[in-house]
């Protein structure tokens, strides 16, 4: 019996690793300038060996400097949002919580809008957005602390308060913004897009996203114990405060990194963890890695739809909800919510 | 030597203005290996607060709680978990983990930060499950268990901590007649066979009699007016006079027809 179990596990790992690779290569092939899989692989070979071989200059440019970057960013963003959502659900013992719980998204949105109003759309936007995203979580944590310790309820309350304050400030900025240039820029930024992915963004946002996800993967066993609640986690021998801060920090790094380059993309941090719960169960040992893998695939899929469905770009946030909602209902019907 | 000693313990809830609510003081007792120590008393007498102090969740205002001559205030969470395990009264289920995952969490304090549970730890968890009579439940979803089974899983998780003292807060609250008996049988068996010690807060006075009848070393502390009024065997403490004093009710202590088992029934409120 134990043998078949481990075979199952190997299969699961293989699927979780292979799926994002398939989606990554797949999305590079798709677009108005069609590229075959062979050409894509040729480009990667050329990239690593500096030998162009049979690949044309134009194909190489499309694949490497446009689509591959965007696809990579998509993988990272989706994975980060989904993993943070999964972690927050366990940490706050609440299946309705998502990655924006502690105000990261609201703070990031405000930061981005502020930078658009001060500097116009520039390289400063991701930095501002990231900074304010992290600031919002720190504030939420401090507000939670006022009530003494860091009990889960006050932390959620703190998050809600900070979230609404930043939303209000964002509305104020929108109200003050120039309606010809700034307001549309803010609005489109908030709807989410990967269209403007630059190499510098991948480095700037990629590092916190990767670090955050790494941390979440490492902390996943602790996360199971934390989800028993503060009292029980403490009597089981866990330093609850320190572990909580560590998990929140990792999730915040990853989410702020994702939001600062892609804008506010709802849904992924809520539904991907649930989809993974239905398929892989609630043990964070599997849930966190599965959320990373499935979140990455889902984001790439949605982004591919966004850039190919019409001549223009459809904002990501719209498509995540339209694609995600029905898929979620389908899964709910199929598993009867058996995952939780 | 006593496993756990409580010396002259006192606690009050405080705010900046001063003492908000005095809960207890002068609490003195010790627990020996292989013994069940029941704390009984009216609602709001401070049982749960005392239990939180024993678990290190509340800090005593005065006095001390000693394990092996060392104050538990000097213990880190992981060290305390190796001595004291907790079976909670209200466990809120959020996500459906497997029963084995839950029980294995008892070994958390021995794992380093990023370490997964080992196969040996899982095997030990399986052993604990069999001790509470739940072999075969390993892969079941714990959110779909009955209340009685859930309670046994939580007891197994506490056993898995290999702690000397198990602390139970109302272990049979919300359980039906049969499951209550089932839990009590398991508790009696564990104390007799595994020589663990249990500190238990309970409202069901007959549980103390049940344990005494079953031949387990049982002592009862009757808590009222911020103090332990009396400590002794169930027969000594849970007498008709004492219950009239503390609960203000008239009761009758009786025996089963074969004369081997004692029990107590409440008759009416003293007007």
Q: Which two tokens stand for residue A294?
A: 């499935």
Closest to A290 (Cα-Cα) out of A273, A305, A304: A273
B162 part of contact set with chain A, CB < 8 Å: no
Min Cα–Cα distance to chain B from A217, Å? 9
- From chain B residues 170-189, the ones with a CB under 8 A of any chain A CB are none
Q: How far from B208 is each of A38, A254, B41, B52, B263, CA to CA, in Å?
A: 77, 53, 13, 21, 9
Is the pLDDT at B5 greater than 60? The verdict is yes
Pairing of strands B197-201, B35-40: parallel
Contact assignment for B96 to A94 by CB distance below 8 Å = no
Rounded CA-CA distance A325/B254 in Å is 64
Q: Are B53 and B59 in contact (CB under 8 A)?
A: yes
What is the pLDDT, as a whole number, of residue A335?
Answer: 67
Contact assignment for A236 to B161 by CB distance below 8 Å = yes
**Dihedral in degrees, nearest 10, Cα atoms A187, A191, A196, A198:** 110
Min Cα–Cα distance to chain B from A105, Å? 25
Q: Are A193 and A260 in contact (CB under 8 A)?
A: no
- CB contacts, 8 Å: A242 with chain B: none
Min Cα–Cα distance to chain A from B53, Å? 12
- From chain B residues 83-112, the ones with a CB under 8 A of any chain A CB are 84-86, 88, 91-92, 94-98, 101, 105-106, 108-109, 111
Min Cα–Cα distance to chain A from B77, Å? 5
What is the pLDDT, as a whole number, of residue A149?
Answer: 55
Task: Evaluate whether residue A80 is within a structural domain.
Answer: yes
- CB contacts, 8 Å: A282 with chain B: 95-97
Each residue's pLDDT tens digit, B116-126 = 889 999 999 99
Give the number of other CB atoms < 10 A from CB of residue B230.
Answer: 17
What is the pLDDT, as a whole number, of residue B226?
Answer: 85
Each residue's pLDDT tens digit, B196-247 = 999 999 989 999 999 999 999 999 999 988 889 889 999 999 999 998 988 8
Task: Evaluate whether residue A22 is within a structural domain.
Answer: no
Question: Which secondary structure element, helix H or strand E, spans residue A83, and what is its range?
Answer: helix A69-91
Intervals of chain A under pLDDT 50: 1-4, 339-340
Angle among Cα A229, A160, A245 to the nearest 5 degrees reads: 45
The partner residue sitting opposite A234, judged by closest CB among B77, B114, B117, is: B77
Contact assignment for B97 to A231 by CB distance below 8 Å = no
Angle among Cα A199, A201, A205 to the nearest 5 degrees reads: 130
pTM of the model: 0.90
Residue of B nearest to A92 (CA): B94
B142 part of contact set with chain A, CB < 8 Å: no
- CB contacts, 8 Å: B53 with chain A: none
Min Cα–Cα distance to chain B from A220, Å? 8
Q: How far from B259 is each of B1, B215, B238, CA to CA, in Å?
A: 35, 15, 18
- CB contacts, 8 Å: B96 with chain A: 281-282, 339-340
Query: Residue A140 in 3-state DSSP?
Result: helix
- CB contacts, 8 Å: B106 with chain A: 236
For tokens 């880190």, the residue is: B76
Task: Evaluate whether residue A79 is within a structural domain.
Answer: yes
Task: Evaluate whether residue A44 is within a structural domain.
Answer: no
- CB contacts, 8 Å: B55 with chain A: 231, 234-235
- CB contacts, 8 Å: A95 with chain B: 94-95
Rounded CA-CA distance B199/B185 in Å is 16
Closest to B51 (Cα-Cα) out of B151, B159, B168: B168
Rounded CA-CA distance B79/B104 in Å is 17
The partner residue sitting opposite B95, judged by closest CB among A227, A234, A285, is: A227
Rounded CA-CA distance A127/A133 in Å is 10
What is the pLDDT, as a whole number, of residue B162?
Answer: 93
The partner residue sitting opposite A232, judged by closest CB among B78, B88, B97, is: B88
Contacts of residue A135, Cβ cutoff 8 Å, sequence gap at least 6? A107, A111
Contact assignment for B113 to A224 by CB distance below 8 Å = no
* 3-state SS string for chain B: CCCEEEEEEEEEEEECCEEEEEEEEEEEEEECCCEEEEEECCCCCCHHHHHHHHCCCCCCCEEEEEECCEEHHHCCHHHHHHHEEEECCCCCCCCCCEHHHHHHHHHHHHCCCCCCCCHHHHHHHHHHHHHCCCCCCCCCEHHHCCHHHHHHHHHHHHHHCCCCEEEEECCCCCCCHHHHHHHHHHHHHHHHHHCCEEEEECCCHHHHHHHHHCCCEEEEEEEECCEEEEEECHHHHCCHHHHHHHHCEEEEEEECCCCCCEEEEEEEECC
Give the domain CATH number at A315.
1.10.3470.10
What is the pLDDT, as a whole number, of residue A148?
Answer: 63
Contact assignment for A235 to B84 by CB distance below 8 Å = yes
The number of distinct structural domains making up chain A is: 1
- CB contacts, 8 Å: A234 with chain B: 55-57, 77
Task: Evaluate whether residue A64 is within a structural domain.
Answer: no
H helical segments located in A94-239: 104-119, 124-146, 152-176, 182-191, 199-218, 220-226, 230-235
ipTM, two decimals: 0.89
Task: Evaluate whether residue A6 is within a structural domain.
Answer: no
The partner residue sitting opposite B77, judged by closest CB among A237, A281, A282, is: A237
For tokens 């963003």, the residue is: A77
Beta bridge partners of B249: B269
Rounded CA-CA distance B59/B63 in Å is 10
Query: Residue A269 in 3-state DSSP?
Result: helix
Q: Are A104 and A137 in contact (CB under 8 A)?
A: yes
Min Cα–Cα distance to chain B from A333, Å? 18
Query: Residue A125 in 3-state DSSP?
Result: helix
Each residue's pLDDT tens digit, B165-180 = 999 998 888 888 888 9
What is the pLDDT, as a whole number, of residue A5?
Answer: 60
Each residue's pLDDT tens digit, B72-108 = 999 999 999 999 999 998 888 888 899 999 999 999 9
Task: Evaluate whether residue A330 is within a structural domain.
Answer: yes
What is the pLDDT, as a whole number, of residue B44?
Answer: 83
Positive or negative, the Cα torsion across B231, B232, B234, B235?
Answer: negative
Q: Are A172 and A297 in contact (CB under 8 A)?
A: no
Q: How far from B253 is each of A49, B80, B205, B206, B240, CA to CA, in Å?
A: 90, 39, 11, 10, 7
Residue of A nearest to B91 (CA): A228
Task: Evaluate whether residue A166 is within a structural domain.
Answer: yes
Contact assignment for A229 to B105 by CB distance below 8 Å = no
Q: Which domain holds residue A269?
A: 69-335
What is the pLDDT, as a whole number, of residue A2?
Answer: 45
- CB contacts, 8 Å: A231 with chain B: 55, 57, 86, 88
Residue of B nearest to A148 (CA): B15
Each residue's pLDDT tens digit, A56-80 = 888 888 888 889 999 999 999 999 9
- CB contacts, 8 Å: B97 with chain A: 224, 282-283
Each residue's pLDDT tens digit, B47-60 = 889 999 999 988 89
Contact assignment for B81 to A237 by CB distance below 8 Å = yes
């Amino acid at each position: 019996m134990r043998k078949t179990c481990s075979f199952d596990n190997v299969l699961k790992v293989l699927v979780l690793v292979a799926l994002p690779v398939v989606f990554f290569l797949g999305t590079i092939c798709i677009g108005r300038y069609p590229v075959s899989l062979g050409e894509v692989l040729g480009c990667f070979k050329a990239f690593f060996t500096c030998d162009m071989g049979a690949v044309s200059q134009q194909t190489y440019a499309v694949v490497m400097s446009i689509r591959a970057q965007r696809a990579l960013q998509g993988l990272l963003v989706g994975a980060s949002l989904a993993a943070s959502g999964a972690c927050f659900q366990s940490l706050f013992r609440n299946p309705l919580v998502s990655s924006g719980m502690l105000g990261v998204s609201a703070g990031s949105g405000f930061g981005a809008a502020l930078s658009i109003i001060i500097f116009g759309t520039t390289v400063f936007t991701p930095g501002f957005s990231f900074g304010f995203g992290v600031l919002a979580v720190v504030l939420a944590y401090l507000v939670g602390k006022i009530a003494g310790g860091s009990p889960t309820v006050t932390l959620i309350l703190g998050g809600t308060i900070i979230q609404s304050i930043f939303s209000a400030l964002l509305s104020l900025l929108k109200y003050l913004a120039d309606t010809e240039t700034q307001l549309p820029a803010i609005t489109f930024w908030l709807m989410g897009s990967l269209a403007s992915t630059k190499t510098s963004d991948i480095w700037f946002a990629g590092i916190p996203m990767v670090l955050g996800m790494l941390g979440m993967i490492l902390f996943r066993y602790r996360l199971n114990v934390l989800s028993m609640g503060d009292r029980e986690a403490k009597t089981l021998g866990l330093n609850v405060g320190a572990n909580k801060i560590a998990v929140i920090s990792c999730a915040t790094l990853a989410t702020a990194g994702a939001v600062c380059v892609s804008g506010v993309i709802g849904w992924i941090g809520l539904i991907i963890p649930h989809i993974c719960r239905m398929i892989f169960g609630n043990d964070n040992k599997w849930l966190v890695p599965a959320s990373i893998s499935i979140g990455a695939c889902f984001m790439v899929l949605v982004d591919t739809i966004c850039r190919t469905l019409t001549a223009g770009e459809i904002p990501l946030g719209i498509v995540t909800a339209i694609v995600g909602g029905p898929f979620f209902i389908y899964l709910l019907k199929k598993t009867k919510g058996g995952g939780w | 030597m006593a496993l756990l000693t409580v010396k002259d313990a006192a606690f009050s809830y405080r705010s900046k203005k001063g003492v908000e609510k005095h809960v207890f003081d002068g609490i003195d007792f010790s627990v020996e290996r292989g013994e069940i120590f029941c704390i009984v008393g009216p609602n709001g007498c401070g049982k749960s607060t005392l239990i939180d102090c024993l678990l290190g969740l509340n800090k005593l205002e005065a006095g001390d709680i000693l394990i092996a001559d060392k104050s538990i205030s000097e213990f880190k969470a992981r060290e305390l978990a190796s001595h004291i395990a907790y079976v909670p009264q209200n466990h809120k289920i959020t996500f459906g983990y497997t029963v084995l995952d839950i029980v294995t969490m008892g070994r958390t304090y021995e794992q380093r930060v990023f370490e997964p549970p080992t196969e040996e730890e899982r095997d030990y968890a399986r052993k604990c499950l069999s001790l509470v009579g739940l072999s075969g439940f390993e892969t079941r979803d714990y959110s779909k268990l009955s209340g009685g089974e859930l309670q046994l899983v939580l007891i197994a998780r506490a056993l898995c901590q290999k702690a000397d003292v198990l602390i139970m807060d109302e272990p049979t609250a919300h359980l039906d007649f049969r499951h209550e008996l089932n839990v009590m049988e398991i508790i009696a068996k564990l104390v007799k066979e595994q020589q663990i010690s249990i500190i238990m807060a309970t409202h069901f006075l007959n549980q103390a009699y049940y344990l005494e009848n079953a031949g387990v070393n049982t002592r009862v502390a009757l808590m009222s007016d911020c103090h332990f009024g009396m400590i002794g065997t169930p027969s000594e403490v849970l007498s008709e006079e004492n219950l009239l004093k503390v609960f203000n009710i008239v009761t009758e202590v009786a025996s089963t027809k074969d004369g081997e088992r004692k029990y107590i029934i409440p008759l009416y409120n003293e007007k």
